Amino acid sequence: MADRRPARAAALRDAITSAHIDALVITSLPNVRYLTGFSGSSALLLVEPHDLHLITDFRYDTQVRDEVGDLAKVRIEAQSLWTGLWNLAAGLTGIEVVGFESAHLLHRDFQRLLAEGTRWQWRPQINLVEALRESKDADEVALIRHAGEIAIRALTKTIKEIRPGLTELNVAGILEHSLRDEGSEEFPFSAIVASGPRAALPHARASSRVIERGDLLLLDFGAQYKGYCSDITRTMVIGPAS
């Protein structure tokens, strides 16, 4: 697959210019992964006219360099990510107005911007990265399709194991184990397994209810592959349908 990250960064810089800001701080981890390839659980990304600056902590020292390469300047921060951002800001010039992802910023972190980020003027931004992500390229479509194939294979394996006497939790365990076996890197959401009268609940949690012959069984689950997800719902009858 072609490396589309540079083109994504260029498109985002165009959006930043159109928003009349000089740079953007990205706090959404899915957006960080979309732009840089970094899949860790701790990161801030500063996008400015000349560079991408990725700040993470010591746990990801090896991983971040493997996943990001030379696309971004990586900063390993021993204290907090925000301390790393303020230290970075001290060495940057030509930046006055900085946007932040208002839909992906905790209130306590917004307070940090006001208290410690006084070097810059802050402006809330909505969906600058999400607007780019709405349109999937051919490689992204292939990844989504692969995530769907993982889910279907896991479902096929799970159905063979379902029988009266198992609990919903038993079935959820079989399903999630099958998803892992087939290559799901994690679960987009907790698998929904609901049987009998509980199958009418739109978002039921798997319970200790024992599945009986003749029950309707609802499965709602997904797979994740390289950051892209599938979501599948199936309803079946345990034994012959009446």
What is 5-133's CATH topology? Creatine Amidinohydrolase; Chain A, domain 1 (3.40.350)
Render pLDDT for 163-217 as a digit per residue (tens, 0 to 9): 999 999 999 999 999 999 999 999 999 999 999 999 999 889 999 999 999 999 9
Render pLDDT for 55-73 as a digit per residue (tens, 0 to 9): 999 999 999 999 999 999 9
CATH number of the 138-237 domain: 3.90.230.10
Decide if pLDDT at 26 tops 80: yes
Render pLDDT for 203-216 as a digit per residue (tens, 0 to 9): 899 999 999 999 99
Q: How far apart are CA 114 and CA 25, in angstroms?
A: 14
DSSP SS3 for 189: coil
pTM (2 decimals)? 0.90
Q: How far apart are CA 151 and CA 184, in angstroms?
A: 8
Q: How far apart are CA 236 and CA 242, in angstroms?
A: 12
Answer yes or no: same fold for 5-133 and 138-237.
no
Q: Where are the domains of the chain?
A: 5-133, 138-237
Strands 23-26 and 97-101: parallel
Residue pair 150/230 in contact (Cβ under 8 Å)? The answer is: yes
